[in-house]
Homo-oligomer: A and B are copies of this chain.
Amino acid sequence: MPDTAWLRFLRAHAAITRELSSRLEALHELTLSDFDVLVQLYYAEGRRMRRIDLARSVLLTASGITRLLDGLESAGLVAKDRCDSDARVTYAVLTKAGVKKIEDARESHLADIEELFGSQFSPDEREQLAELLGRLPLAHTAEPCSK
């Protein structure tokens, strides 16, 4: 088996996200993706983002974001906001409850990540790992023009 690194990457992802998800779900009733989205919003200017940008930043499809935000909206963590200059776009805004939620959940979740992932590495190794992983392609950004 030549692609050892890839296989370990795959397996580690499956194992860690499974565990992380179940803890996050149990303690805060959030999905990994939910958390991811909330954090993105938390750090965004005005705690709001266009849905499409949100989708790109967490690597979900547009429809994925729609349904995920549906859930967060009905939980009251996020609200919609229309855009004056462009009626096509909708903003997702963190509500007060959303801010509280993320601040509540952050600590335990970061601790879980540290336990299952970070703690396996020394500071140098973390940096190196981040650098290596940072080279991987994130976007199948643009199809090369066929013409």
A26 at interface (Cβ–Cβ under 8 A)?
Answer: no
**From B4, B6, B8, B130, contact of A136 by CB (8 A):** B8
How far is B14's CA from A13's CA once the two chains are assembled, in angstroms? 10
Majority SS at the chain A contact face? helix
A125 at interface (Cβ–Cβ under 8 A)?
Answer: yes
Inter-chain contact A117/B8, CB cutoff 8 Å: no
A87 at interface (Cβ–Cβ under 8 A)?
Answer: no
A11 at interface (Cβ–Cβ under 8 A)?
Answer: yes
**Count of chain A residues with a beta carbon within 8 Å of a chain B beta carbon:** 47
Closest to A141 in B: B15
Contacts of A12 in B (CB 8 A): 133, 136-138
A120 at interface (Cβ–Cβ under 8 A)?
Answer: yes
A132 at interface (Cβ–Cβ under 8 A)?
Answer: yes
Inter-chain contact A8/B59, CB cutoff 8 Å: no
Q: Count the copies.
A: 2
Q: Mark A4-28, 1 if CB is under 8 A from B, else 0.
A: 1110111111111111000000000
Q: Mark A95-121, 1 if CB is under 8 A from B, else 0.
A: 000000000000000100110111011
How far is B10's CA from A36's CA once the two chains are assembled, in angstroms? 10
Q: List 27 A-B contacts (CB under 8 A).
A: A1-B43, A3-B118, A4-B130, A5-B117, A5-B126, A5-B127, A5-B129, A6-B117, A6-B118, A8-B136, A9-B117, A9-B133, A11-B59, A11-B138, A12-B133, A12-B137, A12-B138, A15-B136, A16-B136, A18-B59, A19-B140, A116-B136, A116-B137, A121-B132, A125-B132, A129-B129, A129-B132
